Amino acid sequence: MNAVKRIRLFAVAGLTLAVSLCLGAGSPAKAAPNAPKLLQDDCVKCHVQPPADVASAGAGHKKITCFDCHASHRPASKNNIPECSQCHTGKKHYELKGCLGCHKNPHTPLNIILSGNITDPCLTCHSPQIEQLKQFPSKHSKLYCSTCHNVHGKIPACTQCHKPHYAEQTAGDCKKCHKAHQPKNVVYGKEVPNKECGGCHKKAVDLLTASTAKHKTLACVYCHQDKHKMIPACQTCHGTPHPAAMMAKFSKCGDCHSIAHDLNRWTAPAKAAAPVKAAPAKKK
């Protein structure tokens, strides 16, 4: 803040512009004591880019002046570059090393460049994602955050790195079953159409499509609800349709009905197939 020093700086440097900064201040002999201060408006005369950057994208740094950060000028003071910690303290984020590694240009502080492999610095602001990556270990848990988010805030498409399960499947379809930070925990809603499963279960789709039983009209996810590999029991939907005595002779519904995807069809009622006997009910 030493105006005297600042004026001397220009005298020593012999910068002609310095003369024009001495806005009619007394006689040259007494220049130092009466010299006007180096003003914010003067900077642009020699430094075009920083003022332009601050004006176009200075963000929060527009609220302060050049002097707040550059308190003195060469050669009077060699170090007129501020530490970020002069003003930013009290958050985990401000304890990182190398602020300028991401905030490449302090005059446009929100213009952030992510280069290299970054995970820990992200965690100073985002925590749910790392918790999911740890709770559901997968090969994604071994990647850096910046491997996928190479520009801050950018969400990558899964298909940037992976092939879809079938030709017509789009990037938008992936999230019907997968979440990026827990990709192996496959869960889905009631709206998922059969073709999404068909990419991997062609046989099941073909059987069900060819079947003439009423199951044909049901969606895969109507029976295999919520979570991949869930298998429903027939009884969840049908209760106990036949007398216990009859069921006692058979271990499972499929003994007569075959499989859910391709139920047996009988041309005539086959009630005779189940002679009623007073046998004690065997367990399962």
Mind giving me the DSSP string for 43-97? HHHH--HHHHHHHHH-GGGGGS-HHHH--S-TTTSS--PPPGGGT--SSGGGG-S
For 116: left if phi > 0, alpha if psi spans -120 to 50, otherwise beta; the answer is left
| Helix (H/G/I), strand (E/B), else coil: 205 | helix
Q: If binding is defined by CB under 6 A, does position 115 make contact with ligand HEC?
A: no
List 25, 187, 234, 248, residue binding ligand HEC (CB under 6 A): 234
For the four alpha carbons of 167, 171, 176 and 178, in that order, the dihedral sign comes to: positive
Encode 132-156: b = buried (16+ Cβ within 10 Å), e = exposed.
bbeeeeeebbeeebbebbeeeeeee
DSSP letter at 199 equals T
List 148, 187, 245, 248, residue binding ligand HEC (CB under 6 A): 148
Q: If binding is defined by CB under 6 A, does position 8 make contact with ligand HEC?
A: no
Q: If binding is defined by CB under 6 A, does position 276 make contact with ligand HEC?
A: no
Beta pairing class for 262-263 and 258-259: antiparallel
Q: If binding is defined by CB under 6 A, does position 221 make contact with ligand HEC?
A: yes
Task: Mark the segment that binds ligand HEC (CB under 6 A) among 23-31, 236-244, 275-283.
Answer: 236-244
Token output for 47: 């430094």
Closer to ligand HEC by CB, 26 or 230: give it: 230
List 11, 25, 102, 245, residue binding ligand HEC (CB under 6 A): 102
State the minimum distance, in angstroms, from the CB of residue 216 to ligand HEC.
8
Q: If binding is defined by CB under 6 A, does position 6 make contact with ligand HEC?
A: no
List 130, 187, 245, 248, residue binding ligand HEC (CB under 6 A): 130
Q: If binding is defined by CB under 6 A, does position 7 make contact with ligand HEC?
A: no
Binding mask 162-201 for ligand HEC (x = CB under 6 A): x-xx---x-x-xxxxxxxxx-xx-x-x---x-x-xx-xxx
Q: If binding is defined by CB under 6 A, does position 14 make contact with ligand HEC?
A: no
| Helix (H/G/I), strand (E/B), else coil: 258 | strand
Binding mask 50-89 for ligand HEC (x = CB under 6 A): xx--x----xxx-xx-x-xxx--xx-----xxx-x-xxx-
State the minimum distance, in angstroms, from the CB of residue 132 to ligand HEC.
8
| Cis? peptide before 75, omega within 30° of 0 | yes
Q: If binding is defined by CB under 6 A, does position 272 make contact with ligand HEC?
A: no
Q: If binding is defined by CB under 6 A, does position 267 make contact with ligand HEC?
A: no
